[in-house]
Chains A and B, each alone.
Chain A
Amino acid sequence: DSGVTQTPKHLITATGQRVTLRCSPRSGDLSVYWYQQSLDQGLQFLIQYYNGEERAKGNILERFSAQQFPDLHSELNLSSLELGDSALYFCASSSGTATYEQYFGPGTRLTVT
């Protein structure tokens, strides 16, 4: 158990809908990262927050947004969902200091029908 929690575990929704994925980092970790894992694209970095501020952006679509709250949990919002958004979404956290390794949550499997 990495100490990173994600909810929900599974999500099934229809095209055009909006969903919110939630992540709680390990105790004491200031950085949260979001990744998308799909069979054709592999593991893609989406976005990073550090202590409430956006710090790095990767291949995140404009339909997607994220935030990190004062208690350091983070939410990833996916809107106007398309079939191609079906994937595993992982959250990871790190201390934000020199150790650098990230610890991953169990993921949320999103299925768009």
Chain B
Amino acid sequence: AQSVAQPEDQVNVAEGNPLTVKCTYSVSGNPYLFWYVQYPNRGLQFLLKYITGDNLVKGSYGFEAEFNKSQTSFHLKKPSALVSDSALYFCAVRDFYSGAGSYQLTFGKGTKLSVIP
């Protein structure tokens, strides 16, 4: 079984400061990891993914994420937060060994990011 934990329900950060949204995962094989963002009354938007390769993954809107296999973590980061980054962020995982054609993702409960002007 695969699972994702986002230990913080809410993260507050001042505009211009670096931000980190934490995610840890559990899978039986190698993980495929994703970050999504949800703005109010909108669907989820794909930000970035880790499949294989470099541990630092760059995505949309200046976001990046660092994959750490030993700590089973995939934290989302941005060097300088914007007020417009305020939203709900979801981490998701897929086990490499999921059945063929089954691309089910398991999502964390989400972290609300508030960037304070």
Contacts and interface: CB of A to CB of B under 8 A. Distances in A.
Contacts of A94: 103
A56 B102 contact: yes
B102 to A, nearest CB: 4
A100 B44 contact: no
What are the 6 tightest A-B residue pairs by CB atom distance, in nearest-first order? A104-B43, A104-B44, A56-B102, A43-B107, A42-B109, A56-B104
- The contact size tier of chain B is 20 to 34
Contact of B34 (A42, A43, A56, A101): A101
Given A55-B101, A100-B94, A42 B46 contact: no
A101 B104 contact: no
Nearest to A45: B104
A105 interface: yes
Contacts of A33: 103-105
Contacts of B99: 55-56
